Amino acid sequence: MRTTAGLALLAALLLGAGTAAAKEARAAALFSAVPGPSSETAEAIGFYSRGCGAGMVQLPESGPTWQAMRLSRNRNWGHPVLVQYLMDLSQAATQVGWKGLYIGDLAQPRGGPSPSGHLSHQTGLDADIWYTPPPSLSLSKGEREKLGAMIVRTEDQKKVNGNWTESHAAVLEMAASDPRVDRIFVAAAIKIEMCKGAKASDRKWLQKIRPIYGHHDHFHVRLKCPKGSKRCEVQSPTVSELSNGGDGCDDTLMWWVTTYLEELKNPPKKTPGPKKRGPREYLMSDLPKACTGVLNSD
């Protein structure tokens, strides 16, 4: 059930789905105010960074091989396919000696943009998984708020550090080998290390491991649009197109630790122009029309 405060906020901001006030309301405030999912059939709607999720389910706070972290955020919700994937991967992680997985953000109960400004995690198909091999799966809620995730790359961002192990690579390989996965975002140093260590006989799964800024203490799994989600937007270009059907261990990868990292230190001057709205500033009118229905659904 929605809280009284949540209902009051929704009533004040929405005043009916078709009003001008509703269209100009900040979507992050609206979606974060709803504590539970819609009762609709499960569906990922829109794009990963501009959408919502109907009929989402909650990843249980704890399970035999996982714990959801940062519970105060209420972001352990996702499409049923994502929740099942995480349960499966956490069980698979025990094959390399881990007790399971610490799982970070999935999505809000109805997806959508969040007040924190997370760039994606809006359709229930994204999840952050910590690099920390769990020493315990009985952490209290308070401990889950305070514990920090393990960093596995050097401060200069060019190499993995002493925290990185073969078991990390094994977990990532298992994560990427699952056919439900579209791509996995990691720090460039991690992709480079995995390119060095992967077997020559089977490297196709490596194309799903994509370098991106950050992701030094967790990896970000993104699933493909699931069956039945007709309004889910496929990411383009596909990973296979990005890597020309190869493993992604090419000159483009090395660009991340040369040109790109240098540009981060000394960013080129940009021509001033109108500022684009980020997810934190999205209005309801920026999202697919179906998301208003998801927000208002019982």
Q: How confident is the model at residue 231 (pLDDT cuts 50, 70, 90)?
A: very high
Residues 6+ apart with CB under 8 A from 284: 22, 23, 24, 25, 27, 30, 291, 292, 295
pLDDT tens column, 118-175: 889 999 999 999 999 999 999 999 999 999 999 999 998 889 999 999 999 999 999 9
Residue type present at position 126:
D
Structure tokens at 53: 């999720």
Mean pLDDT, the chain, whole residue set: 87
How many Å apart are CA 88 and CA 65, to the nearest integer?
9
Residue 241 vs residues 15, 224, 245: alpha-carbon distances, Å: 45, 15, 6
Domains of the chain, CATH where assigned: 1-35 (no CATH), 42-266 (3.30.1380.10)
H helices of 200-296, where?
A: 239-242, 251-255, 261-265, 290-296
Range from 157-161, 201-205, 208-212, 290-294 carrying the lowest mean pLDDT: 201-205
Q: Is the pTM of this model over 0.85?
A: yes
Q: Which of 124, 62, 115 has the alpha carbon at shortest distance from 90?
A: 62
- 62 vs 267, higher pLDDT: 62
